[in-house]
Structure 1
Amino acid sequence: MNFTRNAKAQWKGSGKEGKGTLSTESTVLDNTPYAFNTRFEDEKGTNPEELIGAAHAGCFSMQLSFLLGEEGFTPTTLDVAAKVAFKDGEIVKVTLDLVGDVPEIKEEEFKKIAHKAKEVCPVSKLLKAEVVLNASLS
């Protein structure tokens, strides 16, 4: 399966006083505002780190569900919380906290499959991936 998903950001103004919007092809985000205050302070709004956390938690839980299915298990619930740690100008760690309700599985097997899901999850891989930049001026 091959596909491309699209998202865009627009920023106006300086880093601290400026404001931006984020939009996705699906329009789940549609000119959603973000700013210095929503990223580095407690103002309500989104920020890149929480979006990475949501993407990672969502991708990981779906990947885990597929891997469990391959082993004959169907999860009732997989709750995944992602904590994205930002320190000194960079994302240094993502912690995934998983609580699963999977009938008939033993904890050791669940943990083994979960660790495999962490390794093969596309977003986990992305966080180690090459980043390509195409830049131009208008």
Structure 2
Amino acid sequence: MKRKAEAVWNGTIKEGSGHITTQSTTLNKTQYSFNSRFAEGVGTNPEELLAAAHAGCFTMKLSADLTEAGYNPEELRTSSSITLDNGKITLSALKLTAKIPGISNHEFQKIAQGAKENCPVSGAFSFELTLEAELIS
């Protein structure tokens, strides 16, 4: 399987702007700029897209692992916060809340850590990955 996206940029780094389009067109000429990356401008940025990819991939892997272990998750809610520090991405911090009937916290934590370590997006990252996982009733 291959997926692709295209980025177009026009102008200088601070005054210019660009757009990103994904193969599925979920992002279709979605704007990004210096301000959307380093300030509070309108549009997306690479770190936000990495955060979305990591949260989505981890959550799907966790659902698969829980299902394989015989559990039926009612809801898995994950956020990822990507840290850009001095021009380098240094961290993806995953935060999960989960509602899974019949699972112990110990088993839940074990399966969640395994999903963090083994989702394909985690494997593509060379920076620190953390997980804070909470089982709710």
> TM-score, normalised on structure 1?
0.90
Q: 2:81 aligns with which of 80, 83, 89?
A: 83
Q: For residues 13 and 63 of structure 2, what CA distance do their matches in structure 1 show?
A: 40
Secondary structure of the 2:81 match is strand
2:93 corresponding residue in structure 1: 95
Q: For residues 80 and 34 of structure 1, what CA distance do their matches in structure 2 show?
A: 24
Residue by residue over 1:1-54, the C-alpha shift from the partner in whole angstroms, topping out at 9 and shown as x without a partner, is: xx0001010111111111011000100001111000000001121111011000
Q: Are 1:37 and 2:42 an aligned pair?
A: no
Give the superposition deviation at 1:125.
Answer: 0.3
Secondary structure of the 1:111 match is helix
Q: Are 1:124 and 2:136 an aligned pair?
A: no
1:69 corresponding residue in structure 2: 67
Q: Are 1:4 and 2:2 an aligned pair?
A: yes
What CA RMSD, in Å, does the superposition of the two structures yield over aligned residues?
Answer: 1.0
Q: For residues 10 and 43 of structure 1, what CA distance do their matches in structure 2 show?
A: 18
More strand by share: 2
Which amino acid counterpart does residue 100 of structure 1 have in structure 2?
A: A
Secondary structure of the 1:110 match is helix
Q: For residues 103 and 9 of structure 2, what CA distance do their matches in structure 1 show?
A: 48
Gaps of 5+ in 1: 130-138
1:20 corresponding residue in structure 2: 18
Gaps of 5+ in 2: 128-137
Give the superposition deviation at 1:74.
Answer: 1.1
Give the superposition deviation at 1:94.
Answer: 0.5
2:45 corresponding residue in structure 1: 47
Report the identity percentage.
Answer: 46
Q: For residues 104 and 124 of structure 1, what CA distance do their matches in structure 2 show?
A: 27
Paired positions, count: 127
2:110 corresponding residue in structure 1: 112
Q: Stretches of 4+ moved more than 6 A in 1?
A: none
Secondary structure of the 2:31 match is strand
> TM-score, normalised on structure 2?
0.91
